[in-house]
Each structure stands twice: as C-alpha cells, then as structure tokens.
C-alpha cells in the first residue's frame, strides 16, 4: 500500500511517501517560498526518486487544518486534484494531531501543539499516548485530552494545568510564546526539539494510513479544509467593513 502525504498548513512544506507502513521518502523545506511554487515540484521529485507512478498510489493523505488559510487551500486543492484525477481517496489528517504524532511514544506526558493563529490566539489541542497491547505487538494509541480550538494561550495553559501531567509543547508558535509559557505555566513542561517542532509529512502519512485502513478516507470531491475559525475577509464582511 502506497500513501502520498502532504502538509502545507504552515510555513513548512512537507511531502512524504509511505509504503506498507514504512516511510520510503520525505521531502521538507522551510524556505519561505509560497507553497504554490514548491508543492507540485516536491511531489514530482519524491515520486521520481521512489520510481513510483501516480497510479501506484492507494491514498492521498492531507494535513487538513487548522493552519494558514492560504497554505491549507493550496494543499487541499493539490490533494483534491490528485484524488480526482487518479480516482483515489483522501485521508484527512488533523494538523494538530500530526504535530503531536511527531512525539509518538512519550508515555505519561501530554503533547500540546500550538500554532500561531494571530489575533493573540493559538490553534491548539492536547494529546497523550497510551500503550496498547492488543494484537501481535505493543504499540501506542494517541488519545485526545483537550479538543482542537482557537483560544488565547493563557486560557489553554489553565486547562493544561488541570491534567496533572508534564506537558511537551510543539508547533510554530513555540518560538513566539516561549517566554509567555515560562512566565505563566506553573507545572512541569518541556519544548519539543527543533527537529520535531514543525510539521512533517511523515506523521501525516502514518495517521493517514490508520484512517485509510479504518475505512474513513473520503472521496476527493467532498474534501474540505478545517479552519476552526472564519477568515479575516469573512469577519470583516460580517462587520460591514467590506
């Protein structure tokens, strides 16, 4: 089984191919070029490197949000176009869950991705890995501790303190809010290492494979991004500014 995974939800653009549960290739750049310039060439390059044809794919996994409105639209349009052209399903993967999955296996901790949502808010959620011994081999299942939302960081910190567990923060908002966390969070915490801090298509692929095997992948024509809140243009229109 071959899965092509795409993440363009933030400044980082990332593409990966997973074959039968094994990461075959990953291509990630953080060069501040627009995703419309980089994404398709990255996909072409990684497919060429793997000697894979588009028809060899079984599923397209896409980081569906939350995140940058423009980045999400570009990634979703790319996944949707490929899915429709190849008649392949699309596995919609939460950007926040994929960020948390970068830290797979951190048992006993709460993983809290934070993405800069502007307007003094973050896109965030909280997750934990629980050991599952069902089946032939031991593995971890990721569970939601706090559901996805767009809130102020201080509000999220108050909720996290109630978990009673060490929190590991990840995501592009860590450099922005590092000092705020240090000043306001009173429980044990840590920051993800720089190599695991940002979006990786490898994690999108891993979660996409789970979604596909569970039969929850969607037809490409019904795929839509998840924004969590309205765009600035929509807000201004409602306020009569446009």
The segment(s) of the chain belonging to CATH 3.30.420.40 are 2-95+199-234, 103-191
**pLDDT value of residue 115:** 98
pLDDT: which is higher, 31 or 194: 194
pLDDT at site 234: 47
Strands lying side by side in the sheet with 22-29: 22-29, 13-19, 2-7, 59-65, 90-94
Q: Identify whether the C-beta of residue 185 lies closer than 8 Å to the C-beta of residue 168.
A: no
With a cut of 70, say whether residue 242 has pLDDT above it: no
Give the residue from 11, 37, 26 showing the smallest Cα distance to 204: 26
Q: Which residues pair with 65 in a beta bridge?
A: 94
Q: What is the pLDDT of residues 99-138, one digit of tens each?
A: 999 999 999 999 999 999 988 999 999 999 999 877 667 7
Q: Does domain 2-95+199-234 have CATH number 1.10.10.60?
A: no
Name every residue whose Cβ is closer than 8 Å to that of residue 120 and which is 6 or more positions away in sequence: 152
For 107, other C-beta atoms within 10 Å of its C-beta total 9
In angstroms, the Cα distances linking 60 to 2, 10, 41, 138, 210 are 9, 19, 16, 27, 12
Give me 68's structure tokens. Answer: 């940058």
Q: Which overall architecture, per CATH, does domain 103-191 show?
A: 2-Layer Sandwich (3.30)
């Amino acid at each position: 089984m071959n899965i092509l995974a795409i993440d363009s939800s933030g400044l980082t653009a990332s593409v990966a191919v997973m074959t039968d549960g094994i990461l075959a290739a990953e291509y990630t750049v953080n060069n501040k070029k627009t995703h419309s310039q980089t994404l398709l060439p990255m996909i072409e390059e990684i497919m060429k490197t793997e000697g894979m044809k588009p028809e060899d794919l079984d599923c397209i996994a896409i980081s569906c949000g939350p995140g940058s409105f423009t980045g999400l639209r570009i990634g979703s349009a790319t996944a949707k176009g490929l899915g429709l052209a190849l008649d392949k399903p699309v596995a919609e993967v939460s950007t926040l869950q994929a960020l948390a999955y970068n830290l797979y296996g951190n048992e006993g901790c709460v993983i809290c991705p934070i993405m800069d949502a502007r307007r003094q808010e973050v896109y965030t959620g909280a997750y934990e890995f629980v050991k599952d011994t069902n089946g032939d081999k031991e593995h971890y299942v990721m569970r939601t501790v706090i559901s996805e939302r767009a809130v102020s960081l201080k509000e999220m910190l108050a909720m996290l303190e109630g978990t009673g567990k060490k929190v590991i923060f990840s995501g592009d908002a860590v450099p922005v809010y590092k000092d705020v966390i240090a000043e306001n969070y009173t429980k044990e915490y840590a920051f993800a290492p720089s190599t695991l801090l940002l979006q990786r298509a490898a994690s999108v692929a891993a979660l996409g494979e789970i979604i596909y095997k569970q039969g929850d992948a969607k037809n490409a024509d019904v795929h839509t991004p998840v924004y969590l809140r309205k765009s600035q243009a929509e807000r201004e229109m409602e306020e009569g500014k446009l």
